[in-house]
Amino acid sequence: MTAQTPTKNAAIADFGIDTTSRTPAQALRDYLDRVRGGELGSLPALLGLLLLVIVFTVASSTFLTLNNLANLLAQGAGTTIIAMGLVFVLLLGEIDLSAGTASGVTAAVMALHFVKNGNLLGGMGNTVFLVFVGLLVLAVAAALWVRIWAGAAMAAVAIVLLALGVPPDPWLEMLLAICVGTAIGCLTGVLISKVGIPSFVVTLALFLAWNGVVLQLIGNGGTLSISQSPVLFAVANGNLSVAGSWVLFVVAAGGYAAVVLSRHFGRVRKGLVALPTVLVGSKVAAVVVASAVATYLFTVNRSPNPDRITITGVPYVVPIILVLLVVGTFVLDRTRYGRHVYAVGGNTEAARRAGVNVPKIRMSVFVIASSVAAIGSIVYSSKVGSVDPNAGAGNVLLFAVGAAVIGGTSLFGGKGRVINAVIGGAVLATVQNGLGLLSVGPAVINIVTGLVLLLAASVDALSRRRAKATGH
């Protein structure tokens, strides 16, 4: 035993494993060194969000009211969800300009199925219906070709739902929307990964094509209302019960604390580098306390007319975003697939030489982006209660890409997390909501949003230059 100890210590030294513990002051200095070295992460977005909250709180007496905060969450949820899917695409240094209009197609199919009592053949017309089914079949074939089995299965489910003409049901209609989104991602991804067309060209073309499909399905000047469906309308406008809100707090905050603390103490037991326990505990305590305060506030009646109407509970969009955040973070941080995504985004050729199936990874991120965009379309359609020919067009995509980039996801690939989209989405939602309360026109809102995005892209470029110069 004694003879083996020097060998073990020598091996540790050779591989550069730091098993020494750090004090909170040392950990803080390390963090500041990383920031100075260009590893900013979401820090600029968080500081910007804090500044915006302070400014709008001072400028508007209604900004920090519970009712407005709940509306802010619902207003920005659709765009934020689309941005969460786009993070996967941006991690590869690619772009998906069609995510917005693709989400519009899924929303149109969902609403058309509801309005036409499940008869999509009658709603689309024979020719359009057959072409649509044909595209779904191509999507299945494309997914099987690249061996993305989940994509093939979801696209096949869409074919079955269309062929059977199932009666209107909100849960089936949401499933149909997500399956159609998956199929769109398969078609987009195969053109980029196998045919070799640049993503900018493919998605720009599909941006126009899917916009035409939405117009074809709904009709020029038409509107498909889904507000008559209590379930579809409640997705973005409903709230959990008070008891359900506290259950969500226990599950979410308790799960977060359990994961973070178990991971931390696991690293400590193995002698690996870890943050000081006091810092980790403080971080967990801060998140749990903030979550408890937010849950309590949302369980208070926030109705503008409290004597007539009672509005309590955490909005449904919160658990939806939390589930997507947890799943997306787990996939990127804790799975081999996630490591492959970062590897391809960091250095495609090196990843290929290491045995990563680069075409499959490239196609898969577009499948994920379109599938998640379909969930975003359900949320933003629910918020307004209808789907029109402009669904997913306009600024939807621009705000979604902007949310991911503002939150800290790099446009150059290889750097970013799903939480970046949530933080960036909160920044954009705050800008739009706050300026709207101040009765600022759309022109100024677009100008300010564009400047915020430009600033975020500039910070990204400068931080990468700084990181390269310092060797980080």
pTM of the shown model: 0.90
pLDDT band at 449 (very low <50, low <70, confident <90, very high): confident
Query: How large is the average pLDDT for residues 12-37?
Result: 61
In the predicted structure, residue 412 carries a pLDDT above the cut 90 = no
In the predicted structure, residue 145 carries a pLDDT above the cut 60 = yes
Query: How large is the average pLDDT for residues 185-205?
Result: 94
Measured CA to CA, the distance from residue 325 to residue 306 in angstroms comes to 33
Residue 61 has a CB neighbour count (10 Å cut-off) of 9
- Residue (of 342, 310, 324) closest to 422 by Cα position: 324
Per-residue pLDDT tens for 306-365?
A: 778 888 999 999 999 999 999 999 999 999 999 999 999 989 999 999 999 999 999 999
pLDDT band at 6 (very low <50, low <70, confident <90, very high): very low
In the predicted structure, residue 394 carries a pLDDT above the cut 90 = no
In the predicted structure, residue 470 carries a pLDDT above the cut 90 = no
pLDDT for the residue 11: 40
The values of phi and psi at residue 41, to 5°, are 60, -135
> Which residues make Cβ contacts (< 8 Å) with residue 195, sequence separation at least 6?
none
In the predicted structure, residue 12 carries a pLDDT above the cut 70 = no
- Asked if 462 and 36 count as a contact pair (C-beta separation under 8 A), the reply is no
3-state secondary structure of 239: strand
Query: How large is the average pLDDT for residues 133-147?
Result: 95
- Asked if 91 and 404 count as a contact pair (C-beta separation under 8 A), the reply is no
pLDDT for the residue 8: 42
- Residue (of 149, 125, 183, 166) closest to 367 by Cα position: 183
**138 CB-contact burial (10 Å; exposed 0-12 / middle 13-18 / buried 19+):** middle
Measured CA to CA, the distance from residue 189 to residue 458 in angstroms comes to 29
Query: How large is the average pLDDT for residues 232-246?
Result: 94
Residue 432 has a CB neighbour count (10 Å cut-off) of 22
Query: How large is the average pLDDT for residues 182-198?
Result: 95
Whole-angstrom Cα Rg for the chain: 24
Query: How large is the average pLDDT for residues 184-203?
Result: 94
In the predicted structure, residue 19 carries a pLDDT above the cut 80 = no
Q: For residues 41 and 424, which has the higher predicted lDDT (pLDDT)?
A: 424
Per-residue pLDDT tens for 250-301?
A: 999 999 999 999 988 888 888 777 778 888 888 899 999 999 999 999 999 8
pLDDT band at 149 (very low <50, low <70, confident <90, very high): very high
Measured CA to CA, the distance from residue 421 to residue 91 in angstroms comes to 12
Per-residue pLDDT tens for 30-79?
A: 767 776 666 667 778 888 889 889 999 999 888 988 888 888 888 889 99
Write down the residue that tokens 């889904």 correspond to.
226
Measured CA to CA, the distance from residue 320 to residue 297 in angstroms comes to 19
- Dihedral sign, CA of 144, 148, 149, 155? negative
pLDDT band at 29 (very low <50, low <70, confident <90, very high): confident
pLDDT band at 303 (very low <50, low <70, confident <90, very high): confident
Query: What percent of the chain clears pLDDT 70, i.e. is strictly above it?
Result: 91
Measured CA to CA, the distance from residue 446 to residue 395 in angstroms comes to 9
Query: How large is the average pLDDT for residues 83-108?
Result: 94
pLDDT for the residue 99: 92
pLDDT for the residue 22: 67
The token pair at 24 is: 């909170």
Measured CA to CA, the distance from residue 371 to residue 151 in angstroms comes to 9
Q: For residues 109 and 410, which has the higher predicted lDDT (pLDDT)?
A: 109
The token pair at 427 is: 């920044």
Measured CA to CA, the distance from residue 256 to residue 428 in angstroms comes to 26
Query: How large is the average pLDDT for residues 216-239?
Result: 90
pLDDT for the residue 18: 43
pLDDT band at 10 (very low <50, low <70, confident <90, very high): very low
- Asked if 193 and 354 count as a contact pair (C-beta separation under 8 A), the reply is no
Query: How large is the average pLDDT for residues 77-95?
Result: 94
Measured CA to CA, the distance from residue 168 to residue 228 in angstroms comes to 12
Least trusted range by pLDDT, from 101-115, 132-146, 453-467: 453-467
- In order, the DSSP letters of 41-63 are TTHHHHHHHHHHHHHHHHH-TTT
Count CA within 13 A, CB hemisphere, residue 77. Answer: 30
pLDDT for the residue 442: 80
Query: How large is the average pLDDT for residues 199-228?
Result: 91
